[in-house]
Structure 1
Amino acid sequence: MQGKGLIKFFLVVMLLVTIAQYMFVIPTNAVENDADNYAQDLTGDDTGEAYRIARASYLDSISDQEVFRLPLIKSYTYQDLKAQQLALGLDLKGGMSVVLQVDLREFLLTMARNSRDTTFEEAISAASQAQQSADDDFITLFGNAWAERAGDDQKLATIFSRNDALRDQIGINTSDAEVVRILREKADETVNLTFVMLRNRIDQLGVVQPNVALDAERDLIVVELPGIENPARARAFLTGTANLEFFDVLNVDQTSINALIQADQILQRRQDLAAGLDSTAVEQTTTVYDTVYATNDLGNLTDSIESITPREVQNQTAGPLFSVLTPNNGNFGPAVLGIAQGSNRQQVMRYLNDPEIKRLFPRNASFRFAETPLDADDNGTAGSLYQLYQLDLPRDGTAPLTGEYVTRAGSGPEPGGQVAVNLTMNSEGSRIWARMTTDAANNGNRQVAIVLDSMVVSAPRVNGPITGGSTSITGDFTVQEATDLANILQVGRLPARTQIIQESIVGPSLGEANIKSSVTALLIGFGLVLAFMLFYYGGAGVVAIVALLLNLVFIFGALASLGTVLTLPGIAGILLTIGMAVDANVIIYERIREELRVGKTVPNAVRDGFSNSYSTIIDANVTTILVAAVLAYFGLGPIKGFAVVLIVGVIASVFTAVLVGRLMVDYWINKRGTMTFWTAGSKSLFANVSVDWLSFRKISYGISAVLVAVSLFFIFTRGFDLGVDFKGGYSYTVAFDQEVSAQELRNALEGPLEGVPTIKSVDADNTYNITTNYLIDQTAQIDGQEPQDVVLAALYEGVTAATGDNSVTLDQFGSTETTVGTHITSVSKVGPTIADDIKRSALEAGVVALLGIFFYLLLRFKGKRYSTGAVVALFHDTIIVMGVFAACWGWIGFNMEVDQAFIAAILTVIGYSINDTVVVFDRIREYLTNYTKRDRRQLINDAINSTISRTVMTSFTTILVVLVLFLFGGASIKGFAFALLVGIVVGTYSSIFIASPIVYDLSSDQEVKEVKTASDTPVTA
């Protein structure tokens, strides 16, 4: 073996790097132990929310401080140390994962300077609708929608050329296609900048080892936040654009109130005309609210409300507007036009933005609701009332002062006890702010409105000019809210809004259970493989064991250095890698056993066995890496992690089994003179197999045709149990503290969720998965609540009705941190856009994988008979596995959903099956090349017979570890493992009975003879 010195060098380097990687755990643990002690001393507890908050606060405070130094090399902060270690995914640690869609609608409106062109608005609306199911990106969809609606004389250039930023690229004669291309470039810049700023913003969130990735092709940002304990806070942090604006206000006077009265009368007349009625004035009793404002230490009024008292008054105009808006009759601040219930805010804005209604108010009037509701009185009467402010909008439609001028933001308590966000502005911002506050003070303590994301967070009265560029925002913030807002403003406004289209939350208790089951499966699977290798290969089995141990060491070290997040599918990938890593050893050892049986000495048999195995090992593993690479490209989140683990595992197994294994075998033989490659019980196994496999090909074709036909029948008639990944919706895993049947749950939930939910039993006592599409398309708030909160409340209503137990509150039920009582352990949300995208990417991944394998085999084996045989066998395997799932879901006692994990399993089956097939093909090609005078049929039979031991041994070891994964890997991985089990069995069968016979049937005697000079002696290295 040449190059031993180079291999030893790389082995030593890899070991040193890997050991150094693992050594980072020591200083990291020291820091985390300090955090544990700090939190325990502070709270007097070692569990609970207060403890966790204190611990996280300590780690956050030192995250950017040096805590470890390698002499003369580098210093490390705590964040640096964590980045050097293998991070645990949400399904192992708990936390939150979201997929964010970068919303490019606002981008287009900005580029068009908010054009009111009807065709333009219709094209944006159509593109938004098409995005839910189309393959193309939003800009392309917009271009297509415009082309369908625009007339011959309408050009996109007339809309976008008015933007100064585009004027040098878009002229009046620029074609629509060129405009769309330029917009796509600008959109890509916007998406990339949004990603960078969002990543910087997440760094301020205090999450250890967050994972943020950009899918630029689909304008998606994938965010994983392990250990996050406040999902609502994370949602606000991720989706808030932090568009900070400062406006002058227009004081409300009788003219404004009269405009409201006229607006209400106009709307009433319209309503009466639509109903065919005469318009008449009607009196009614209306509730108005008397308000008492608080004063500060100087005795000046503030915008904080001390009390609100409702009272009834007569003679209010009855009409559509006043049914949803109560006008300000002097009961509120001078900038407040009226108040409305949270559920009526959108309707109020639709009325006021009506062109006929807008003409009743000053041209510079703009309306914004307050972000938070008014304080409730003692009876809680006004807890959902929101103030409507009348702002002074400049002629150009933009705020006089924005967050772009803010250079620093922080938070802290005010003298009056309120928490404030403190801002420092640059020189230009300071000048504008001084002018605005001077004008406000000169106008009699008029208010200045501070607007965040189109909502008024504060409207302070200005007693005098504020110079120096420093100011404070107060808006009834909690300490955490003020800190988050300051952090967002410090990073800056996101260039585009982001919308959560997929969300998953996993509780820590479920993560701990997954870790326990995964470690159990890993240890049992590894132990069984080691025991088998010792039994079957004797002394060579010891070498295989050492190679496998090294393989695991290198896999974990490489994954840590790559920053890979280890998930449950990733652990499944490691287990699968163990089974497949044995394959390289088996190929080599079986070849050595063949050489020994023909009478060669051990050194010669080892030399020829290794050299004749290289081609087979390379072909088998290249095809597996090809499939894993496709999975890594098209997959999202945990599936991408599974693919990375598989790629790393395959590369590590080839290095350890082929190169390091050869070093160890040569060392052993040089030291002891020999080595055993069998034991007494395994020596004769598969020694003299002589089966005419091709004689069964017509029978096997018939059996396979029946299996494929039955599978297609179930696929098209019964279909699949589509997971939430593919159909969209909300999915909850609920652990009950008492017995309840699925039917009882279904009946109780049908009403609150406005439809029949999908309910499946999870293989834990009294645990169910509940999936519903209730409000999945809803994005706007409902009665002041987020849609997911409304769905959760409906779920809680149904669950408590089914159990008859109201002892658990809604907050306790919905918290994944809860471990007692009936509670949710995990929740996922998949919007229709991402569901369609996942289905599309799954189909693309399968097609690309099959095409890649076909062309690789076409080039590698220089004959379409091999690639055709392989692809037909892969179609055969895929259809049967899918058919089994279509036939069995619903009556087998575990989850058989078709989701992203199932697609990963299908692609893994393709990779495994082609691995198996290539080994047989490689031997067929070798025999056809070396034994050109022999009968073609006999040559192919001999090739199959000579590789049957490897086929059986590799399948057995792989099935062994996957079976352990199925039995001990936990509920969420059972369907994945079952698909692999079926796929391995079917793949092994197809390699022998489908792929190889097709090669025979597509071969001709002339193809066999056109290779080397006829010889009946095998050519060996």
Structure 2
Amino acid sequence: MQGKGLIKFFLVVMILVTVAQYMFVIPTNAVENDADNYAQNLTGEDSGEAYRIARASYLDSISDQEVFRLPLIKSYTYQDLKAQQLALGLDLKGGMSVVLQVDLREFLISLARNSKDPTFEEAISAASQAQQSADDDYITLFADAWRERADGKQLNTIFSRNDALRDQIGTNTSDAEVERILREKADETVNLTYVMLRKRIDQLGVVQPNVSLDAERDLILVELPGVENPERARTFLQAAANLEFYDVLNIDQNSVNALVQADQLLERRQALAAGRDSSELSATTTVMDTVYAQDELGNLTDSIASIEEREVPRQTAGPLFSILSPNNGSFGPAVVGIAEAGNRAQVMKYLNDPEVKRLFPRNASFRWSATPLDADDQGTPGNLYQLYQLELPRSGEAPLTGEYVTRAGSGPEPNGQVAVNLSMNSEGGRIWARMTTAAAADGNRQVAIVLDSQIVSAPRVNGPITGGSTSITGDFTVQEATDLANILQVGRLPARTQIIQESIVGPSLGEANINSSITALLIGFGLVLAFMLFYYGGAGIVAIVSLLLNLVFIFGALASLGTVLTLPGIAGILLTIGMAVDANVIIYERVREELRVGKTVPNAVRDGFSNSYSTIIDANITTILVAAVLAYFGLGPIKGFAVVLIVGVIASVFTAVLVGRLMVDYWVEKKGTMTFWTGGSKNLFADININWLSFRKISYVVSSVLVVASLLAIFTRGFDLGVDFSGGYSYTVVLDKPVSAQELRSALEGPFQATPTIKSVDSDNTYNVVTKYLIDETNPIDGKEPQDVVLAALYEGVTAATGDNSVTLEQFSNPEFTGGTHITSVSKVGPTIADDIKRSALEAGVVALLGIFLYLLFRFKGKRYSMGAVAALFHDTIITMGIFAACWGWIGFNMEVDQAFIAAILTVIGYSINDTVVVFDRIREYLNSYTKRDSRTLINDAINSTISRTVMTSFTTILVVLVLFLFGGASIKGFAFALLVGIVVGTYSSIFIASPIVYDLSGDRDAKEVKTEADTPVTTT
């Protein structure tokens, strides 16, 4: 073999690099042992919530400190060390995963300087609606919607008013050019949002977070392993951190009268809408007179002493006063009134009514308090929020924003409250000094500190604040103040983010997945090793060493690439083990052929390896093509599966072909020989001489029947669509008492206001509950986030089904709780991401088939090979999907069609084409070498000569996938079953579909010509 020295060099380098990669585990374990000892000493426990909090606190405190140094090379923090190791995904470790949609709606409105142009507003609304199901990005959707409504109006009229765009967009700029500029600005915004979000997540204290950007779809994927407070994580991920400072407008008599008039106006309008005469309304109403306090000199101040009520026409409260209680002097002078959480949106709708707005001062703007009033004397949690009246400058923007903040921190105040301390630059300090000077001079007036349109603090100003420093107090806990300071320190996100997909996995489920995966990995690997020893003897030892090296390189490469290992990733490793055997089998079967025709071992090894290279390259390139499609179109775990498959294929070729050749040559040179069979395997498949093409008409009929039956099943029964494709909330619930699926379904119909989907998981009393209840809702409901309302409904139904209410809602919703009925995982998929996943799955399938067709067309120089391969792939895909459509619901394991199923289908495509290419390669070799022979005989001989490889590779792959199916856990069974079906069908199609099509498209070349001895092809004899 040429270049042995170069191969040895790369082998040594790869081993050294991989060993060095693994060595980072030692200092990492030392740090984590210190964290264990610290937590045990502090809590006196070695497990439990207090122990975990203490351990996480220790690791967070030293995460940015140097803990290890390579002399003369580099120093490492704990975070650096963890980044050098293979991270475990949520399904193996537990934690939270979200997909964030960068909201470009507000971004466009901002670029348009809040334009009230009706056409612009209609186009924005239409684009937001179309985004739920359209293929295009938001900017394209907006441009299309504008063109439909513009009626000749130019897009530049909307954006040329923005000073920042004036140099790029003028009165003569075309709509196409404006669209290009908007897309360019949007891409910059999405990238900057991603960068700033990464910085924010670094402040969250999560070890080995995984954050990636899907720029084509404006999506940010975030995985937070081990996170224990999902609500805190949601705040970090979604808070825009738009910090603003406003002057307030104190409530005076005019403001009070404006409220009364607004209430009357709304009541008259409702009466007219109901067909009642407004003159029939009550004769009296309540008017409130404001009484201001006096200072020591007897002068009136801005402070309200009391608000006195007196009766004038009409007594009953109208629409506004029925949900908003006016300030009766109990609250600050800038507070308009108070309302319950669920009524806030309606109050704002009333106050933003054009006719109502005209009753208030033109510079008045209203904002709600961020937190409710304190609990009452009975301890009932507060549900009443204060509505403030702020002074809006003529520019429409806050006089001071967070852009001027240079540093943010947190700490205790002298009064015991926890505060967020801010430092501003010189310009910010000047503006803040001016605002506080004016407020102090105006009788200790308040200023409002607004974060994301909610007032977090409205302190009175006793005197001017100079120097550019201030503090925010708002009844924060220590954690809330620290988080707010961290968010403000990073700065405002350029665009808002919205969670459109979310998954939470409990650590107990992750531990179960790890245990089952390790079991499957060890059993599958052990069976393959035993088989290779039995079948190939001495050469089997070389194959075992190659496989071991393969695993070492795979894990090392995945760690260095920063790949997150998930359950599909482990499935990819198992699949790689099965497929890694393929290169060895191709080589060894070819060596056995050479030995059977009488060649010496050294010559047989030389010819066996050299004649196998082309086949191995073709087979693995097609697999990499499919994996690359998966990596591009897939999300989260599927992308990880694809990366594992690509790394595994490359490592397999290197270890089996190059390193394997080194070992075989060394053995043969040292021992003079090597065995490639054992007594039990020597003559297996040795004398096969089957006329495979004679069965092609039968196989065409059988396959046609199977394909038609599959299509009928697909179009009549359909699929059990997982939450990935249908959208909705998915919960895995472990019940403490036996309950049937029908009982649970009936109990949940009321709370969910519809019938949910209930599926039994393979462990006792464990169910998967899927519902679309409130999945389209994005606004709070009675002060609660929609996911919290859905969770409460689930708790209500499950409690009713079990008849056991000893578990609280907090315990039930905690994936780490083990003392009774609880959820172990939560997943939310919004309609946007569900449509996106379906579209991506279709695109991935089309691109994979097209890529394979083009590669085979280029590689085999004939469309008959491409057409035969694509026909076989279509055959395999339809039958696999048809079996899923026909069998779901009556087989005792989950057969959902989800992202993992799509990965399985594409893997089947890769495997099937791998198998087909091996046969094609031999057909092409025979057709080119024996030009005087008829194609029927040559194709039969090619299939006969490769049948041993086909059977061996299929057997070893089925072996490991069967182990994965039996031991891999419930969440991977559907994936493994699809692979099993696909491998069997793919093996069949390469012989009975793809090869016969090549024959039928080739034409029988002179079948009557007489054979000659020199022209007889080599077969397995």
Per-residue Cα deviation, 1:409-443 (whole angstroms, up to 9, x for no partner):
00111111111101011111111111111111111
Aligned to 1:338: 337
| Range 248-257 or range 556-565, more displaced | 248-257
Confirm or deny: 8 A CA contact 1:932 1:1015 kept in the other structure.
no
Q: CA deviation at 1:44?
A: 1.3
Confirm or deny: 8 A CA contact 1:283 1:317 kept in the other structure.
no
- Give the 5 Å matches for 1:146-545: 146-152=146-152, 154-279=153-278, 280-282=280-282, 317-380=316-379, 383-545=382-544
TM-score for both structures, normalised by structure 2: 0.96
CA distance in 1 between partners of 2:903 and 2:909 (Å):
10
Q: Which amino acid aligns with 2:52?
A: R
CA distance in 1 between partners of 2:816 and 2:919 (Å):
52
Aligned to 1:769: 768
Aligned to 1:120: 120
| Range 930-939 or range 981-990, more displaced | 930-939
SS of residue matched to 2:758: strand
Aligned to 1:787: 786
CA distance in 1 between partners of 2:156 and 2:253 (Å):
45
2:157 corresponds to 1:129: no
CA distance in 2 between partners of 1:376 and 1:92 (Å):
41
| Range 991-1000 or range 174-183, more displaced | 174-183
Confirm or deny: 8 A CA contact 1:569 1:641 kept in the other structure.
yes
Per-residue Cα deviation, 1:610-662 (whole angstroms, up to 9, x for no partner):
00000000000000000000000000000000000000000000000000000
Tell me: CA distance 1:834–1:312, structure 2 relative to 1, closer, same or farther (3 Å). Answer: farther
Q: Which amino acid aligns with 1:991?
A: S
Confirm or deny: 8 A CA contact 1:930 1:1017 kept in the other structure.
no
Confirm or deny: 8 A CA contact 2:710 2:878 kept in the other structure.
yes
Q: CA deviation at 1:1017?
A: 6.5
Tell me: CA distance 1:1007–1:460, structure 2 relative to 1, closer, same or farther (3 Å). Answer: farther
Aligned to 1:639: 638
Count of residue pairs brought into register by the alignment: 1000
CA distance in 2 between partners of 1:287 and 1:941 (Å):
100
Aligned to 1:138: 138
Q: Which amino acid aligns with 1:490?
A: Q
Per-residue Cα deviation, 1:389-422 (whole angstroms, up to 9, x for no partner):
0000000000010000000000111111111101
Aligned to 2:293: none
Q: Which amino acid aligns with 1:479?
A: V
Tell me: CA distance 1:943–1:445, structure 2 relative to 1, closer, same or farther (3 Å). Answer: same
2:60 corresponds to 1:60: yes
Q: Which amino acid aligns with 1:137?
A: D
Confirm or deny: 8 A CA contact 2:327 2:338 kept in the other structure.
yes
Aligned to 1:38: 38
Q: CA deviation at 1:182?
A: 0.8
CA distance in 2 between partners of 1:776 and 1:541 (Å):
55
CA distance in 2 between partners of 1:189 and 1:23 (Å):
39
Per-residue Cα deviation, 1:708-731 (whole angstroms, up to 9, x for no partner):
000000000000000000010000
Q: CA deviation at 1:282?
A: 3.5
CA distance in 2 between partners of 1:863 and 1:905 (Å):
29
Tell me: CA distance 1:425–1:186, structure 2 relative to 1, closer, same or farther (3 Å). Answer: same
Aligned to 1:983: 982
CA distance in 1 between partners of 2:95 and 2:717 (Å):
36
Aligned to 1:965: 964
2:36 corresponds to 1:4: no
Per-residue Cα deviation, 1:290-332 (whole angstroms, up to 9, x for no partner):
9xxxxxxxxxx9x9xxxx9xx9999755211111111112221
Confirm or deny: 8 A CA contact 1:933 1:1015 kept in the other structure.
no
Confirm or deny: 8 A CA contact 1:24 1:84 kept in the other structure.
yes
Per-residue Cα deviation, 1:929-980 (whole angstroms, up to 9, x for no partner):
1111222111000000000000000000000000000000000000000000
Q: CA deviation at 1:1008?
A: 11
Aligned to 1:677: 676
What 5-or-longer segments of structure 2 have no aligned partner?
Answer: 291-300
- Give the 5 Å matches for 1:704-743: 704-743=703-742
Confirm or deny: 8 A CA contact 1:540 1:665 kept in the other structure.
yes
Confirm or deny: 8 A CA contact 1:729 1:771 kept in the other structure.
yes
Q: CA deviation at 1:275?
A: 1.2
2:105 corresponds to 1:110: no
CA distance in 2 between partners of 1:684 and 1:576 (Å):
28
Aligned to 2:617: 618
CA distance in 1 between partners of 2:870 and 2:311 (Å):
80
SS of residue matched to 2:655: helix
Confirm or deny: 8 A CA contact 1:282 1:318 kept in the other structure.
no
Aligned to 1:49: 49
CA distance in 1 between partners of 2:311 and 2:748 (Å):
43
Confirm or deny: 8 A CA contact 2:260 2:287 kept in the other structure.
no
Identity %: 85
Tell me: CA distance 1:284–1:540, structure 2 relative to 1, closer, same or farther (3 Å). Answer: farther
Per-residue Cα deviation, 1:95-150 (whole angstroms, up to 9, x for no partner):
00000000000000000000001111111101101000000000100011111111
Q: CA deviation at 1:387?
A: 0.3
Q: CA deviation at 1:286?
A: 10
Q: Which amino acid aligns with 1:158?
A: T
Q: CA deviation at 1:509?
A: 0.2
| Range 232-241 or range 815-824, more displaced | 815-824
Q: Which amino acid aligns with 1:897?
A: E
SS of residue matched to 1:833: helix
Confirm or deny: 8 A CA contact 2:934 2:1007 kept in the other structure.
no
Q: CA deviation at 1:1005?
A: 4.8
- Give the 5 Å matches for 1:1003-1018: 1003-1005=1002-1004, 1016=1015
CA distance in 2 between partners of 1:151 and 1:51 (Å):
66
Confirm or deny: 8 A CA contact 1:521 1:965 kept in the other structure.
yes
What 5-or-longer segments of structure 1 have no aligned partner?
Answer: 291-300
SS of residue matched to 2:164: coil
Tell me: CA distance 1:381–1:816, structure 2 relative to 1, closer, same or farther (3 Å). Answer: closer
Tell me: CA distance 1:1018–1:990, structure 2 relative to 1, closer, same or farther (3 Å). Answer: closer
CA distance in 2 between partners of 1:135 and 1:322 (Å):
46
Q: Which amino acid aligns with 1:497?
A: R
TM-score for both structures, normalised by structure 1: 0.96
| Range 824-833 or range 266-275, more displaced | 266-275
4+ aligned runs moved over 3 Å, structure 1? 280-288, 311-317, 1005-1009, 1017-1020
CA distance in 1 between partners of 2:242 and 2:1014 (Å):
80
SS of residue matched to 2:683: coil
CA distance in 2 between partners of 1:852 and 1:543 (Å):
34
Tell me: CA distance 1:1007–1:846, structure 2 relative to 1, closer, same or farther (3 Å). Answer: farther
CA distance in 2 between partners of 1:341 and 1:796 (Å):
24
Q: CA deviation at 1:379?
A: 2.6
Q: Which amino acid aligns with 2:96?
A: M
Q: CA deviation at 1:156?
A: 1.0
CA distance in 1 between partners of 2:880 and 2:310 (Å):
70
- Give the 5 Å matches for 1:782-821: 782-821=781-820
| Range 70-79 or range 955-964, more displaced | 70-79
Q: CA deviation at 1:563?
A: 0.3
Aligned to 1:298: none
Aligned to 1:845: 844
CA distance in 2 between partners of 1:382 and 1:704 (Å):
66
Q: CA deviation at 1:820?
A: 2.2
CA distance in 1 between partners of 2:310 and 2:880 (Å):
70
Tell me: CA distance 1:726–1:286, structure 2 relative to 1, closer, same or farther (3 Å). Answer: farther
Aligned to 2:872: 873
Q: Which amino acid aligns with 2:854?
A: F
Q: CA deviation at 1:54?
A: 1.2
CA distance in 1 between partners of 2:357 and 2:140 (Å):
35
